[in-house]
Structure 1
C-alpha cells in the first residue's frame, strides 16, 4: 500500500495545470489559438484575451497554430508568455482575375432531413478539412460566393472558425489560403448556416482548395449535460437511470457539431495532436445502432458551395 501511494504521488507530480497567454510580437493577445500537446490527444484553445490553461507533463512540447502566424513548437517558460511570429508570404506572381458574377453553380448540395450523423470535437480542439477538387465546371466558376453547412448545437451563439488551406505537395492541407479570421456564430438546434464570402475574393485554384472548420475549446462553447453509463459502457445522453445504470452529471462537450454525409471515398483530413491525418471509415460499433447508411463509409462534411464566374 505504501509503495503504491508513493508511485502515485510521483506520477501525479509530473503533471500540472499550466496557464499562459499567447501574444504577437507587439505584445497584443492572440485569440482562439489552436494549442496541442505534441503527439498526444490533449489540447485547448486560447480565449478572446489570449489566455489559456492546459494540463501537461513538464517535459512536453506544445504546438501553437493560428491564422497568419507561424506554427510554433515550444515549452512554456516561467512567465507563461508565448510569442507567435507573423507569416511572411512570398508572392512570386500575381494573377488578377475579375469576377463577372453572371453565371452561378452549386456543388455539394445535401438534404438536411437525410443527415443523421454529426461531427463534434468533444473536449479537445481539432480542425476538419474537406478537399474541393477542381473540375471543368469549377474552373469556369472559380469564385466562392457562399458556403452553407448543417450545424447542431445544444446552446445558442456557439462559435466555430472557418479556414481555407492551400494544397501542399503531399496532398494534405498546406498554408492558410486566406489571412482573414472568420468566426461563425450558430444558433441552437439543427439548422443550416450560410456564410457569405463575396467580399473575401476566394478563388478555387487549379490545384484545388481545402475548406475547414476549427473547433474551439472556449467557455462560450461549453455545454454540460447528464448521461447514463451502463455495464457495457454504452452512453445515453439525457437518459434516465435504470437497473444497473448510474447517472453522471459531469458530461462536458464544446459546441457546435457539423453534419456529415456518407461517402464511398474520403476527401477529408483532420488536424489532431499537432499533425494532419486522413479520416477513417465509420464503423457500426462506433455510432448509434440502426444508422446503417453510414456503416463502412467515410463521414464527409456536408457543405454546399455556391460558385460564380
Structure 2
C-alpha cells in the first residue's frame, strides 16, 4: 500500500510546484549560499537548500508581498515577491567570527570524556520540531583543560505514537527523511550569542535511526570556550531520497471563528525531553518571529506547554569530547 502512495505524493509535489519561482542565492564571488533564512514577515518562512535554492509560488503564499532574506556572514535583504529574480546576490559583511575563535588545534595527549545524552520512549514527553523553532542547550566549561568536540549524541524518537500498539513485529515504520542543521553559539550572559563557526553542519534523520543519533563533528575543530557554549538543532524540512530539501509548504491554514490561523507543520523525529537535569539549560526561539530572540524554556516564558506542565524543562543532548592534558 505504501509503495503505491509514494509516486502519487511525488506527482502532487511536482504538479503543485511546476509554476513555482526557483530562486538561487549566491555570494559576490558566485558561490551558492546554503541554508539561508527566507522570512515572510508574518511568523512563517522557509529555508534555501544546500545549493542556495528556494522555491516560492503565489499559489501557496498568495498573501506574501515581501521576503526578508538573511544568512550568516551576509547583509540582510528585503525583496518584493513581484517579479522575483532567478538569482539574488547577497552582500558579505565584516564578521566577528575571528574574535570568537579562542585557540587553534590542540596538541598533545588527550582522553575521551562524555556528557551522556538522556532519552526515553514516551511519545508524549517529546518536543515536536517545527520549521520556525530552534532549540539550544547550554553546556558549561567545568575545567581549564582544552576540549575539542568529537561527536554529538542527539536523542531522537523515530516511531509514531501508536507504533507500540501494532501487532505485527515486521510492520514497516512510516518512512521520513528530515534535514537538521546544527549551530554552535558562544555564551552571552547566559543566552546564545554569536555563532562559533560558519561551517554548514547538517544531518539527515530517518525512521531507520536508533534512539541516539551520533554526529561526527571532529573535523570542524570546535574548541569549548571558557564560558561554555550552546549547541542547537534547527529543522530545515523533509528531503527527497537524495537528501535535497523538498519544497513543501511549511504550515497549514486552519479556519477558525477568528479567521484563518496558520499552524506550523511538525516534523519527525521527535526530541525527547527530560526532568533529570536540575538546571534549566534549554532555550528556544522562533526563527521567523520576534527577531529570532532566544528565551529560556520555562513556564515564565512559554504558554500552554504540556512538557513544562509535566516538569520537563530540558532536552537531553549529549556529546563526546577530546580533553587535552594541561601543560605543566
TM tier, smaller: 0.5 to 0.7
In structure 1, the residue matched to 2:314 is 300
Q: TM-score, normalised by structure 2?
A: 0.64
- Partners of 2:24 and 2:105 lie apart in 1 by 40
- Partners of 2:309 and 2:122 lie apart in 1 by 15
- Partners of 2:195 and 2:94 lie apart in 1 by 12
Runs of 4+ in structure 1 deviating by more than 4 angstroms, as ranges, are 56-61, 113-116, 221-224, 282-286
Secondary structure of the 1:199 match is: helix
> Does the CA-based 8 Å contact 2:65-2:80 persist in structure 1?
no
Alignment deviations for residues 245-276 of structure 1 (CA, whole Å, 9 cap, x no partner): xxxxxx95433332222355243132422412
In structure 1, the residue matched to 2:165 is none
Q: 1:63 to 1:105 in 2, by over 3 A?
A: same
- Partners of 1:267 and 1:72 lie apart in 2 by 28
- Partners of 1:112 and 1:219 lie apart in 2 by 26
Structure 2: runs of 5+ lacking an equivalent: 1-19, 159-173, 250-263, 324-328
Q: 1:140 is matched with which residue: 130, 137, 145?
A: 145
Secondary structure of the 2:293 match is: strand
C-alpha deviation, 1:113, in angstroms:
4.4
- Partners of 2:80 and 2:45 lie apart in 1 by 14
In structure 2, the residue matched to 1:184 is 203
Matched residue count: 257
C-alpha deviation, 1:284, in angstroms:
10
Alignment deviations for residues 214-241 of structure 1 (CA, whole Å, 9 cap, x no partner): 11135547799xxxxxxxxxxxxxxxxx
In structure 2, the residue matched to 1:105 is 113
In structure 1, the residue matched to 2:227 is 207
Secondary structure of the 1:255 match is: coil
Q: Does residue 79 in structure 1 map to residue 117 in structure 2?
A: no
Q: 2:295 is matched with which residue: 254, 272, 278?
A: 278
In structure 2, the residue matched to 1:267 is 282
C-alpha deviation, 1:73, in angstroms:
4.2
> Does the CA-based 8 Å contact 2:119-2:273 persist in structure 1?
no
Q: How do residues 248-263 of structure 1 correspond to structure 2 at under 5 angstroms?
A: 253-262=266-275
- Partners of 2:77 and 2:127 lie apart in 1 by 27
